[in-house]
Amino acid sequence: MQFMLLFSRQGKLRLQKWYVPLSDKEKKKITRELVQTVLARKPKMCSFLEWRDLKVVYKRYASLYFCCAIEEQDNELITLEIIHRYVELLDKYFGSVCELDIIFNFEKAYFILDEFLLGGEAQETSKKTVLKAIEQADLLQEVRPHHLESYPDYDCCHKEALLEVKLVLEHN
């Protein structure tokens, strides 16, 4: 995998992870182009598209798009499930995760991702093992992450749970 981007329906970038060395300028350009391309696609279109010499795999969960760029020989479907497993991990950790969790606890989102994917490859696919690693780290920690009630503002569209909505979307 070359990179993973999380962005909202409004096109706001929520998380970016690059597994190839690129300059900030290039990263911004790629992000802009890709966000535009993906947002322009209609709901029932397929989750894959060719983009430059890469394959882009994306999926929308409630208000958030998860978007990965993989190489020619990489497997699209397994990438789609990498995205899903990541969403599951976030969901389990935060408890019914929503976009706001990721905004206010972006560092946690990064830590979980690092436990799951490293160098663009799946490092540990067991949900239990990944969460145990994060949990252990939390035990070493004096404080806990913020959660919904503690977010100073309320914004219902960003509080939509990612996973439940996804299930609805799936069987439409």
> Which residues of the shown chain bind other proteins in the complex (CB under 8 A)?
13, 15-16, 19, 21, 24, 28, 42, 44-50, 52-53, 73, 75-78, 80-82, 84-85, 92-95, 103-104, 106-107, 110-111, 114, 118-129, 131, 133, 135-137, 140-147, 149-153, 155, 170
- 42-56 burial, b if ≥16 CB within 10 A, otherwise e? eeeeebeeeeeebbb
Q: Give the shortest CB-95-to-other proteins separation in angstroms.
A: 6
Q: What is the DSSP string of 12-41?
A: -EEEEEESS---HHHHHHHHHHHHHHHHTS
Least Å distance, CB 78 to other proteins, is: 4
Spell out the alpha helix ranges (H) of 20-161.
Answer: 24-39, 76-94, 99-104, 106-116, 127-139
* Closer residue to other proteins in complex, CB, 143/156: 143
User: Minimum distance between the CB of residue 161 and other proteins, rounded to whole angstroms?
Assistant: 15
Q: Whose Cβ is closer to other proteins: residue 149's or residue 156's? A: 149
**Angle CA 40–90–141, to nearest 5:** 135
Least distance in angstroms from the C-beta of 145 to other proteins: 6
